[in-house]
Structures are given as C-alpha cells and as structure tokens.
Amino acid sequence: MSSRKRRPVVAEVGSAPPPARSAPDKVSPIGRSSDVPPTIGRPEMLIDGSDQKFRGLIHGLLTFFALHRAIRDSYAAHVGLGGVQYTILQSIRHLGSGADVNVRDVAEHLRLSGSFVTVETNKLEQLGFVQKAQSVDDRRRVSLKVTKKGAAMLDDLAPMQRTVNDVQFANISRQEFIALSKLVDQLIGSSQAALTLLYYLKDSKQQHNPAFADAAVNELVEVPRLKSKRKTRASKRGGS
C-alpha cells in the first residue's frame, strides 16, 4: 500500500496569527525581615525590632538536639536498646545514686507519661537490665534499680561516651557550663508552661491577646518551679 504524505497546514492569507502565549505570573519576592511579623514579642529577644537572632537561636537548638539525639541513638543501638530505653536506664542509675527511684521519679525527670515509663521499664526488666522491688520508703511503690548486668553494660560504654562528649562540648568553659545548666533548667520550666498555653490557645478566643498570654505565662511558670523546689527538698531528705 502506498502511504500518502500529509500536507502541512498553511494559514490562509489574511487570517489572524495564532494567539500569543501569556507570560507567566511573576512570583512576588519574599518580604524583607521588617515586613515579616515577629514570632516573639519580648524586647530582650528583639534586636532592632527584628526576631532574626531569635529564629537563629531556635534553629540552632533544633540542629543541636537532632545531632545529640543521633549520638544518643547510636549509643543505644550499640548495646541493643532503643534510644528512649537507653535514656531511661541511664536516668534510673543517676537518679538512684542517693535514693530510691520509682516510675514517677523517672517520668517527671524525663517529662514522659508514667504509663510509658512503666512499659519501657518492663522491657528493660525482661532484658535483665532493671530490677523492680518494693520501695523501702513507701511499700505501696515499686522502686527501680539497675542490675549488675545493666551496670556492667553502661560501664563498658562509658569510655566511648567520655571521648564523644569531650569533643561535643569541647568549646564550653566551666563558667559557660554552669550558666548553660541553669538556663536549661529555666527553659524546661517555661517550655512546659508554653506547651500548656499552646494547647489552651488552640481552643480559645484569646490567641491574639498579648496581655492574656503574659498573665497565663506568669501563672503557669510557677508550677514547674514549685515542683522543682519540692524535688530539691526531697533529695535533701534522701541524702546524696
């Protein structure tokens, strides 16, 4: 069969040219920092009215936490544990150096739920790393203690930890370390208050009321402070 060639389509003389393609809409450039509403209102955190330094601090903290968590998870994987299990085991050992430790103590220390800590300590008990016994101070409670197997595992890991920690915190002086420790304690309390406030504001009509937010923060921050004072008194009674 002979194939016929298609003739090219030619516009008739005097016909209108094909419509021109419309130019794509121009994307508006990102506004300058002065055009972006600040994410914090406290004057201590605003430099020349800008929150750029504050945002840099937050992003830096997020990066630090991500790196530190990766280090923690690597320790945990090295000994066959999950990251949170490893943290709980370390917490039981350090909190229990001078007094009995129970699930509630660990949960408050790590800001975790008591039920979650109970589940994870049960797993650690099955692995032979944690021992549960009736508390000496309160027979209604169960105390947690790291077993000889768990202690030996943590002791074997300690030299690697020291080497890594020496590098991670190499640029911090003693004075900076003490100041940082104090700041972290303060930030934990205010962050807990901020999280509580956030949950409330999401279901409230007070989202854009700065006066209400300030009053709420002043009230909420007192709760972690009181808990901290009670814990300090309890640790003094238990000895260290």
C-beta separation of 75 from 161 below 8 A: yes
Q: Within 13 Å of residue 209, how many CA atoms lie on the same side as its CB?
A: 14
For tokens 């002086």, name the residue. 173
Does 10 have pLDDT greater than 70? Answer: no
Mean pLDDT, all residues of the chain: 80
Name the pLDDT band for 202 (thresholds 50, 70, 90). confident
Encode pLDDT of 52-75 as tens digits: 999 999 999 999 999 999 999 999
CA torsion angle 178 182 184 189 (round to 10): 170
Helices (H), the chain: 52-78, 83-95, 103-110, 114-126, 148-168, 174-202, 210-220, 222-238
Choice between 33 and 239, residue whose per-residue pLDDT is larger? 33
For β-strands 142-146 and 130-134, DSSP reports them as: antiparallel
pLDDT of residue 96: 82
User: Is beta strand 130-134 parallel, antiparallel or unpaired with respect to 101-102?
Assistant: unpaired
Residue with tokens 């809409």, as numbered in its chain: 25
Encode pLDDT of 90-116 as tens digits.
Answer: 999 998 877 788 899 999 999 899 999
Q: Residue 121's pLDDT band (boundaries 50, 70, 90)?
A: very high
Assess whether pLDDT exceeds 70 at residue 146: yes
C-alpha span between 151 and 145 (Å, rounded): 10
CA distances for 3 relative to 6, 166, 236, angstroms: 9, 81, 100
**CB proximity list for 113: less than 8 A, separation 6 or greater:** 107
Measured distance CA(206)–CA(228) in Å, rounded: 29
Choose from 12-26, 95-109, 179-193 the range with maximum mean pLDDT: 179-193
Least confident of 35-39, 114-118, 166-170, 182-186: 35-39
pLDDT given for residue 83 in this prediction: 95
216/196 Cα distance (integer angstroms): 10
Q: What value does the mean pLDDT take over residues 165-184?
A: 96
Is 153's pLDDT higher than 90?
Answer: yes
pLDDT of residue 210: 63
Q: Are 89 and 130 in contact (CB under 8 A)?
A: yes
Specify the 3-state DSSP secondary structure of 24. coil
